[in-house]
Structure 1
Amino acid sequence: MVAADASRREFLMMTGAAGVASAMLGHSSASAQQAGGEGWGDAVIVNALGGLSNPNVIRNDVDSAIQRGVRRRRQLDERTLADAHASGLTAVNCTLGYVAGEGDPFEVSVSDIANYDQMIRAQSGDLVKVLTAADILNAKRDRKIGIIYGFQNGAPIGDDLARVDVFADLGVRIIQLTYNPANKIGDGSMAPQNRGLTEFGRQVLERLNQNRVMVDLSHSGQNTCLEAARLSRQPISISHTGCRALTDLPRNKTDEELRLVAEKGGFVGIYFMPFLDMDGSVMAADIVRHIEHAVNVCGEDHVGIGTDGPVTHIDDLEAYRERLAEEVAFRRRTGIGAAGEGPNTLPFALDLRGPTQFHRLAQLLQERGHSRTRIEKILGTNFVRHARNVWGA
């Protein structure tokens, strides 16, 4: 979910509930360290779509940021960094650039890349830009958080295929072909026609393959997903989704889509979003259920996690709900919303959030009888394998 050009998580970072308490920083970090003590501290954890933000920080410039379709990247605060480290997170695909709203998509995206570059330089002791699969493993070794640059819409490419080259040269490693509506590349999950790729979209797909940029089919319509998976010369990903066989909503993927992506050597990340339950009240058990279904369809070598959220805990849930209702209304007005989201649906599982979420998920899977090797694959090594196949070592 996205507000203007920013990802949902960036929106909530800008407009979240007030009151960051130093006591909460100590509490959340201690909790995550305790979870790491359960035996998963050495695991490589890659969030195939997430973010680093503090949803408890107020940003006064949110209205103008939405209107302009631009945002300014500031340094991450101490709590965000502490929680990310304590959670065991190794790397995360962060949404950069234009997704929807005002502003020139290309200019907004290039500016955002520059802002991220500046942020990583300023906080190089904690963060590192990921360009290869080896960078993820090196981040784990060096106790840093790897930042993977990703787009959630191919709109910044415009009509110019050469822009794919530009973005690849700037370090963008993942490009999602569509958001929920249709664009010049193909139909999104909420486009009623459910067409496949356009002719231009096929050319974009080929150019992405040439540049070894990971093709992401999250948010795509079914026929767009199937056609892209068949045509791509490299394995593709669905970084954040659920299983439509379990919850029949457009943002989730059918078994046909999941199976084809896996057969082509790709990667599927399961999110922690309300689309995992028809009522929108997602719990940890729902996430486990969708992961298990994806493993049954795709095999254990092709499934991971893409939470679509940060790791920092929300202090004031009621204030958060108010801001969330504002965002859902905005998304409806601008036509970028999806079936299954609403003012009363939370974009996370109430019993699986905060810095303990990854280790707690591992524990739940272990209790269900999954082997340590399989759990480590789901937590991150499947994504590393996929990245190595696409980006190189």
Structure 2
Amino acid sequence: MAWAAAASMLPWEAGEASTKAAGMTDTGIIINALGGLDDPNRGSDSLVPTLTPRVLAEAHASGLTAVNITLGYVSGPDDPFEASVRDIAATDALVREHEHDVLKVLTAADMRRAKAEKKIGLIYGFQNGAMMGKDASRVDIFANLGVRVFQLTYNPANQLGDGSMAPENRGLTDFGREVVARLNARHVMVDLSHSGERTCLEAARVSTAPISINHTGCRAVTDLPRNKTDAELRLVAERGGFVGIYFMPFLNASGHAHAEDVVAHIDHAVQVCGEDHVGIGTDGSVTQIDDLKAYQTALAKEIAERRAAGISAAGERPDTFPFVVDLRGPQQFQRLAQLLAQKGYSSERIEKILGLNFLRYAQTIWGS
């Protein structure tokens, strides 16, 4: 690949020339372990992708091969089970409508097929296990519907375990252990992003398959609850799992994260986990924001609503953005690759971080 060559064309803001040098149309496999296909310029309360011509064009331009999209219940007054089934059905309809641009990912081979066919693979995932109710057999329902990533908790506690903002840090419940066993049996990825430390460590130990932390930062670099301790990172990697670093404000104690913070957290994760277990889970989309001031006004309202609902995390403030200010838009993956190359990362290591590590891990869980 051309990562190192692109890095020689400093600065990365060089625009179209550096984009071409980075191999925008042939950058290998890029997999976002947690992200979205939506337009932040268009307000929406739905988690279902927004597959407008612009969103699709900018996703293709970014070189994205596949992305784990959040569907289903996260919080709010809706019935968790009904909301989750409804989102899956709506997204299935979108995939059928846009079959020339996207495909539904069920196996690792589907991500390779997305690359070969110049499509974007959509990985269906949950970020809260509340839709389980008290019935672990619901795992079978969602696995049959194509859900491939199951995050046990969001920030608060639920019936499976404690989230990162639950002060008791009580770990997995008995029901949580039952759900993990069922997820293992159905070859669904067990994701411990947003979990409390004990929940993560216990899940890694009881799971018969490697687990993932698809979008996080490193607490040793920035001490915030949404970031993972070295103990969590190390155990997940030692058991064959995957850690994705996000592009979120929690990467910097000021709440204003920059590209250099993403690189610092990736580098720390590589030191702790090894280069075969680290990737990216940006927690964002690739569509550029047109009016940052208008977006910030809407975001302040969203932050206030999250606080009122009790689902926000330490480090979220009205003046923080849920992205990295200088690492966004369709060129974000190429820019990150160039910055990693500048740091001395080889092309092979960069390719692992941008997608091949997640692909290998997914093949372990889902099959080829």
Q: Which amino acid aligns with 1:35?
A: T
Q: Which amino acid aligns with 2:192?
A: L
Flag structure 2 segments of 5+ consecutive residues without an equivalent. Answer: 1-14
Contact 2:191 2:211 in 1 (8 A): yes
Contact 2:161 2:171 in 1 (8 A): yes
| SS of residue matched to 2:283 | coil
2:210 match: 235
2:307 match: 332
Quick one: which of 152, 163, 167 aligns to 2:138? 163
Q: Which amino acid aligns with 2:73?
A: Y
Quick one: which of 286, 296, 314 aligns to 1:321? 296
Contact 1:32 1:356 in 2 (8 A): no
TM-score (norm 1): 0.88
1:350 match: 325
The reply to whether residue 44 of structure 1 matches residue 19 of structure 2 is: no
Query: Alpha-carbon deviations, 1:313-339, whole Å to 9, x = none?
Result: 101000000000000000000100000
| SS of residue matched to 2:37 | coil
Quick one: which of 10, 19, 39 aligns to 1:54? 39
Q: CA deviation at 1:103?
A: 1.1
Task: Summarize the alignment of residues 105-120 of structure 1 with structure 2, pairs less than 5 Å apart.
Answer: 105-120=80-95
Q: Which amino acid aligns with 2:86?
A: S
Q: CA deviation at 1:382?
A: 0.2
Contact 1:276 1:282 in 2 (8 A): yes
2:159 match: 184
How many Å separate the matches in 2 of 1:73 and 1:189?
Answer: 25
1:27 match: none
| SS of residue matched to 1:390 | helix
Q: Which runs of 4+ in 1 moved over 3 A?
A: 31-34, 71-75
The reply to whether residue 215 of structure 1 matches residue 190 of structure 2 is: yes
Query: Alpha-carbon deviations, 1:357-381, whole Å to 9, x = none?
Result: 0000000000110000000000000
Q: CA deviation at 1:75?
A: 5.4
The reply to whether residue 277 of structure 1 matches residue 213 of structure 2 is: no
Q: Which amino acid aligns with 1:38?
A: A
Query: Alpha-carbon deviations, 1:129-162, whole Å to 9, x = none?
Result: 0000000011000000000000000111111111
Q: Which amino acid aligns with 2:57?
A: A
Q: CA deviation at 1:47?
A: 0.3
How many Å separate the matches in 1 of 2:17 and 2:193?
Answer: 32
Contact 1:36 1:359 in 2 (8 A): no
Contact 2:38 2:50 in 1 (8 A): no
**What is the Cα-based RMSD across aligned positions, in Å?**
1.4
1:20 match: none
How many Å separate the matches in 1 of 2:310 and 2:50?
Answer: 31
Tell me how many residue pairs correspond in the alignment.
354
Q: Which amino acid aligns with 2:226?
A: R
How many Å separate the matches in 2 of 1:233 and 1:371?
Answer: 33
Q: Which amino acid aligns with 2:40?
A: P
Quick one: which of 281, 286, 302 aligns to 2:277? 302
How many Å separate the matches in 1 of 2:81 and 2:75?
Answer: 12
How many Å separate the matches in 2 of 1:161 and 1:221?
Answer: 21
Q: Which amino acid aligns with 2:166?
A: A
| SS of residue matched to 1:333 | helix
Q: Which amino acid aligns with 2:170?
A: R
Contact 2:65 2:121 in 1 (8 A): yes
Cα–Cα, structure 1 residues 266 and 33, in superposed 2: closer, same or farther, change >3 Å?
farther
1:80 match: 55
1:17 match: none
Q: Give % identity.
A: 65
Flag structure 1 segments of 5+ consecutive residues without an equivalent. Answer: 1-30, 63-70
1:139 match: 114
Contact 1:98 1:109 in 2 (8 A): yes
Q: Which amino acid aligns with 1:181?
A: P
Q: CA deviation at 1:57?
A: 2.0
Quick one: which of 258, 261, 267 aligns to 2:242? 267
| SS of residue matched to 1:146 | strand
Contact 1:271 1:287 in 2 (8 A): yes
How many Å separate the matches in 1 of 2:322 and 2:47?
Answer: 24
Q: CA deviation at 1:350?
A: 1.1
